[in-house]
Structure 1
């Protein structure tokens, strides 16, 4: 098992950058990260964003659970001025797992409590929450919905991987029904209803989620879907356009409409020779895909994403979070890692190449739309050097806001640390061990899903959970 991250200093990373031919930049001047930024009609007090980190710890009815409240209180106290709330299903059938949160009239008081406690924690640790923006991600899990997939199009590389019946393990076949045009049209009302509730409980922005091959992302790339929601670019963006227009019209002007969107889908990978990731068999030209060439599936093609971002801005979207990949099919694209989860493959590329892919793609978008509040991804792999990378990217205009995902679970107070000491606590830095992913992939819990967090650096909450999951893997072996 090759290990990549052996860097003790920025100089070590700069040397590796030169060797790999990547365009990673670093700066010891962290001041750019602490300048405010306009986000539509609002202002965020610094350039740090907590990515939507799903804890899989909601109650069966969709209400947040005890660990959900704990997580957002910790995020609130941490010092980041943009907190991107996790995936919240717009209908019960849109959940990705049986513990995903769902905002509806019955669960509304619990969401109000999350907002209240997150903001109170932020005020307690940081003095004011007037420049804190806290949002909620509105999702439909589509192909990855629980308990049954809801697919927008038949995909020859993803269908054989998609479980149609969890009891039998039967996969999606050519006769599996697609979500209909009428069903899609009715879903617009579900997005609007959830967005209105989000505003009522106090969220500052709502995210119409278009990433990671969930429903809206699948529609963006659905070149082989018939009818008004597939085929041409205009058709493939139609549903997201209808949702964004309806949400923007339904919420007050001071509420920011946002989206987390794939810039590049990629094709699936599997465990190949020497356990390294290998691409699944695929025919060219590719039938489906977003942000990728039909004839060069490993190349990022930003033609359509750039066009769509421009059109979304005209629709009133003022905050975009750029991501890529499919966590179920090729996690090394979305989150470059040092250690794979137990059911995963070893990275098929140097993880710094994956970081560079994120940075270059986001920089292209930011160059096209310099004033866009754009959140970048891919920083956690850089471990204790992520602040220096973020500072250089903001300094150079390659990104306006730096998003941090896995690393927030190990030390949610990272922004406070930088303010107080100018550096991160090396003993609590996320080492991308993929423990959090391993917890998320373990389904043998009585509620159908184990809680997800950071066992190595948050033993108080997840130490016993990890021990239980380890025993399950031992028994399985």
Structure 2
């Protein structure tokens, strides 16, 4: 779809709900691996300050778990009163650079790590997770009510911490996304069966977040278009869910994504699948399993700029909500193409890990292209601090922003 409206310049201001960004570029959520015991560290602040100083309109802090049992890593940011001082320091530091900051909220569901969390992972139906070598248990109605309210509570705390927006994670077969998947959701109650039932949890979460924050901050939703798994959630159903979210009035902007962290994570990223790098950071016996069987899960897909555009334009044609184009945004040409096809914003991840100042350089010279070569060796670094392996990094600092004298170890 080519819009008949004037095509905005990607470097012009843009609105998401009540929020106006200085430009239309967003640092996409990529788990940084830089929090510690659920709190903010200096390194996490520095990470987002680099991207804010580098020119993005908004940077996204990921991943901020709404519940203790919804973490994929025991050190992930958890919405607790103890985490708030550090989160305030982070938002203040980003605002000093002139950028907005969003918090990605979610519950990992069957992707969560039950051994590290000390609590069973939740899923729509009982599910065996190959990475954690454990079963996720079927979520009860009480579990679902709790998780919905945990999202609302986290959104209220995001306002208290100074965030300008929240991005609610409905993708990658995390909890809400796993309910959307007919492959994972075998329930026969009000949250299983028809698409309307399978989408119920996602809609309940979004409505609870909207009720919690009103129009005080912007609400973005990251929604799967395709799980990349036979029998999973696919584009035709994603169109319907996007339309329901729009009619509910619970969302200010949509960011479409793809892939399954359970079964096909490389479906989102495209490019190389660095098995050796993944195996290196895994404990035994998972390390051996990755080496022997990794190709069955870490498949390689050819990379091209704007690789999610073909599917995302199907959603663009079906809704009037502002949309954020994700996937292979590396140069001004693909940015302009997205703008011309009706997308109001673009989100970048790997390209900014490689060059945090890329936006400033592109604005100064539209011919600048990202140096990212899509080797994907940045992906395993989220266990040790997300970065491009082609760029040196300084030694990490382990202190966290605390509640008393400033910092605690």
> Could you tell me how far 1:331 is from its partner in structure 2?
3.0
Matched, 1:98 2:74: yes
Partner of 1:367 in structure 2?
317
- Aligned match for 1:139, one of 87, 96, 106: 106
Bigger Rg, structure 1 or 2: 1
> Could you tell me how far 1:218 is from its partner in structure 2?
0.3
Q: 1:422 to 1:461 in 2, by over 3 A?
A: farther
Partner of 1:79 in structure 2?
55
Secondary structure of the structure 2 residue equivalent to 1:86:
strand
Runs (5+) with no aligned partner, structure 1: 1-22, 124-131, 268-281, 292-301, 441-448, 463-477
- Aligned match for 2:88, one of 95, 102, 112: 112
Please provide the CA RMSD for this pair: 2.5
Partner of 2:204 in structure 1?
242
Alpha-carbon displacement from aligned partner over 1:170-199 (angstroms, at most 9, x marks no partner) = x43xxx631111111122221111111101
- Tell me the TM-score normalised to structure 1 length: 0.71
Alpha-carbon displacement from aligned partner over 1:233-254 (angstroms, at most 9, x marks no partner) = 2211111222211211111423
Secondary structure of the structure 1 residue equivalent to 2:339:
helix
Q: 1:31 to 1:307 in 2, by over 3 A?
A: closer
Partner of 1:453 in structure 2?
387
- Aligned match for 2:358, one of 408, 414, 420: 414
Matched, 1:333 2:277: no
Cα pair 2:8 2:339 within 8 Å, conserved: no
Secondary structure of the structure 2 residue equivalent to 1:290:
coil
> Could you tell me how far 1:72 is from its partner in structure 2?
0.9
Runs (5+) with no aligned partner, structure 2: 279-293, 397-409
Structure 1 CA distance, aligned partners of 2:395 and 2:269?
Answer: 23
Aligned residues: 367
Alpha-carbon displacement from aligned partner over 1:144-181 (angstroms, at most 9, x marks no partner) = 212345232347xxx45435xx5xx4x43xxx631111
Partner of 1:226 in structure 2?
188
Structure 1 CA distance, aligned partners of 2:14 and 2:303?
Answer: 30
Structure 1 CA distance, aligned partners of 2:189 and 2:222?
Answer: 26
Q: Which moved more, 1:190-199 or 1:319-328?
A: 319-328
Structure 1 CA distance, aligned partners of 2:22 and 2:360?
Answer: 13
> Could you tell me how far 1:313 is from its partner in structure 2?
1.7
Partner of 1:162 in structure 2?
130
> Could you tell me how far 1:432 is from its partner in structure 2?
1.7
Structure 2 CA distance, aligned partners of 1:349 and 1:188?
Answer: 35
Structure 1 CA distance, aligned partners of 2:128 and 2:201?
Answer: 26
> Could you tell me how far 1:52 is from its partner in structure 2?
0.5
